[in-house]
Structure 1
Amino acid sequence: GSGAALATVATLAVLGLVLPTFTTSAPGPEYTASQLVFAAVVSIVLYGLFVFTQTVRHRDFFLPITEAGPVTEETHADPPSGKTALLSLGMLMVALVGVVGLAKVESPAIKAGVDAAGFPASSVGVAIALLVLLPESIAAIRAARRERIQTSINLGYGSAMASIGLTIPAIAIASFFMDGPLLLGLGPTQIVLLGLTLVVSVLTVVPGRATRLQGGVHLALLAAYLFLAINP
């Protein structure tokens, strides 16, 4: 399941964040209206297809290894009940509203701190993104500490997938009611870091076994991104 998740995240990231920098129909790192609609439709379809694969069609691929051993294709796990699914959806919406509301409330203080430190204005977006993704990050770290690596990977890739796959359609709809350009494409530095991160991720996921060295490489890439965000 990790390979499928990584492939989906990579496709969404390139489609939504890299290609706008290289398209020529519109000036600057942005899509035309038709290109944006296409990217939004593909993003929501890929996200929906992955959710269907993870929760219905091949749910076993995304379950952690139990004490009795790994879940095999012949031992299919029972899907959650309708009540459990609806309860989870409701709690997800409540948590989402809380996290987004917290980011909105704290954004003035974050902006003031960034201005006082003399960091670029783009650092505000990085700080807010870290705040919004903090719950999933904490949950993923806790799962990894309990040696539930598949759960940790599901949380990490799922968060990245939702952040891109649902944001692109949302801003595509909002762009029809807002004036001004919609700059989606990353800059050269961010594209290089994204490409390197995808390569390292493939080398980590495909073998099916990772070491502390590979974890250190990922942390180094994260540190490089954060450092270059405040010191471009």
Structure 2
Amino acid sequence: MPHLGKSLVREWPIALIWVSFALLTLWGSALKPELVGNAGSFLVLAVIFVVMLAAVFTVVHHAECLAEIFGEPFGTLILTLSVIGIEVALITAVMLTGPNAPTLARDTMFSVLMIVLNGLVGLSLLLGGLRHGLQVFNLSGANAYLVVLLPVAVTSLILPTFTTSAPGGGLSGLQTVFQIAMSIVLYAIFLLFQTVQNPKVFQQPADGTEADLFDDGGPGEHGHTPGNAIFHIFALLLTLLPLVLMSKKLAIYVDHGITQVGAPVAMGGFIVAIMILTPEGLAALSAARHNQLQRAVNICLGSALATIGLTVPAVLAAAWFVDRPIELGLSPPGVVILSLSLGISIATFVGSRTNSLQGVVHLAVFLAYIILIFDGDF
């Protein structure tokens, strides 16, 4: 019983986000941006962001406990699907209930790809390279991610920019059906390859530094002492639900803040992506720092692939359901940055060893992306 009591005390973020959602539901009309002013709106935004971020960390904690129970590659897959599930829920909830924002899904997915492929990969390779020199990973596993990511990313975010069957970077009815089907089928086949046919290619190679592979500062590979699987699954779902319900509240204050400070519209997607990816990003950086580069690769490339493979069909289906326009095609600068990011990723993972120089290159592209956001080019 004492152990159960301590476990429940550690779940305070679940109670916090449910209480916050209840308060916003009861008093939300009195906290509207036009009533509380700019200072009040930014304060409410900060509170909502912190509460939701604490809940996201809780989701990741329970996902990683399940990862300890089920092992790799299932562990990283559970973590990735949990985090991307939050992204899909946030975007679709805002699309279904919020004002018409045809580029919201595109901006968020593009931000996730840039943060993952350049920011997280760059920091992971830089930190890992500075500490361990050359780091090893399983080439076949990285290639499996990239070979599926390339066609789905290009056909969903780049191709609509150049097609003429639908206006403004949108998709025609036939293209929408094809994109949904292709994304789901390719991702399903990838999951079959990852979990059934060849799970070993997503595990750390045997020639890694064995002394560091599981030195994560905790009892297990991910630094957690897992409990009962049913408990972690229940807590995971209990945290995901209010995150979805809070998404509309967050969107209201994000949109108001962007308008008031005159920030680019794409900043909204970037803020949502940062909140979603912060815990997962910390897990990837920790893995690289402890010479578990394969786990960092699984997290980063897995997030990028799941973002496209799951979010694209979800938002296309949601837009069709509510009969709202959606734009997936990137602007010309976005096409260049995404193409450059995919090309550098292929060059980085063409061999089985990485170094800090490659990390610096990825970070340079990420900084270029940030500059273009504030320059209003997206």
Q: 2:169 aligns with which of 29, 45, 57?
A: 29
Find the counterpart in structure 2 of residue 19 from structure 1: 159
* Structure 2 unaligned regions, length at least 5: 1-140, 214-227
Which residue identity does 1:162 align to in structure 2?
A
Structure 1 residue 46 and structure 2 residue 186: aligned?
Answer: yes
Superposition deviation, residue 91 in structure 1: 6.2
TM-score normalised by the chain length of structure 1: 0.83
Find the counterpart in structure 1 of residue 360 from structure 2: 216
* Structure 1 unaligned regions, length at least 5: 71-83
Q: Which string of whole-angstrom CA distances, capped at 9 and with x for unpartnered residues, describes residues 47-102 of structure 1?
A: 1111111111100000113539x9xxxxxxxxxxxxx9888766665565465556
Structure 1 residue 200 and structure 2 residue 344: aligned?
Answer: yes
Task: Report the CA distance shift for 1:97/1:6 in structure 2 as closer, same or farther (over 3 A).
Answer: farther
Find the counterpart in structure 1 of residue 137 from structure 2: none
Superposition deviation, residue 180 in structure 1: 3.5
User: Aligned with 1:176: secondary structure?
Assistant: helix
Find the counterpart in structure 2 of residue 81 from structure 1: none
Separation (CA, whole Å) in 2 of partners of 1:89 and 1:2: 28
Aligned-residue RMSD, C-alpha: 2.5
Superposition deviation, residue 20 in structure 1: 1.0
Which residue identity does 2:325 align to in structure 1?
P
Separation (CA, whole Å) in 1 of partners of 2:275 and 2:262: 20
Q: Which string of whole-angstrom CA distances, capped at 9 and with x for unpartnered residues, describes residues 81-125 of structure 1?
A: xxx988876666556546555655433443344334321122111
Find the counterpart in structure 2 of residue 169 from structure 1: 313
Q: Which string of whole-angstrom CA distances, capped at 9 and with x for unpartnered residues, describes residues 108-161 of structure 1?
A: 443344334321122111111121122221111111111110111101111111
Percent of counterpart pairs with the same letter?
40
Task: Report the CA distance shift for 1:205/1:100 in structure 2 as closer, same or farther (over 3 A).
Answer: farther
Task: Report the CA distance shift for 1:112/1:176 in structure 2 as closer, same or farther (over 3 A).
Answer: closer
Is the contact between residue 5 and residue 158 of structure 1 (CA under 8 Å) also seen in structure 2? yes
Separation (CA, whole Å) in 2 of partners of 1:217 and 1:62: 24
More helix by share: 2
Give the structure with higher Rg (CA).
2
Find the counterpart in structure 2 of residue 153 from structure 1: 297
Find the counterpart in structure 2 of residue 136 from structure 1: 280
Which residue identity does 1:231 align to in structure 2?
D
TM-score normalised by the chain length of structure 2: 0.53
Which residue identity does 2:200 align to in structure 1?
D
User: Aligned with 1:30: secondary structure?
Assistant: coil
Separation (CA, whole Å) in 1 of partners of 2:231 and 2:151: 31
Superposition deviation, residue 175 in structure 1: 2.0
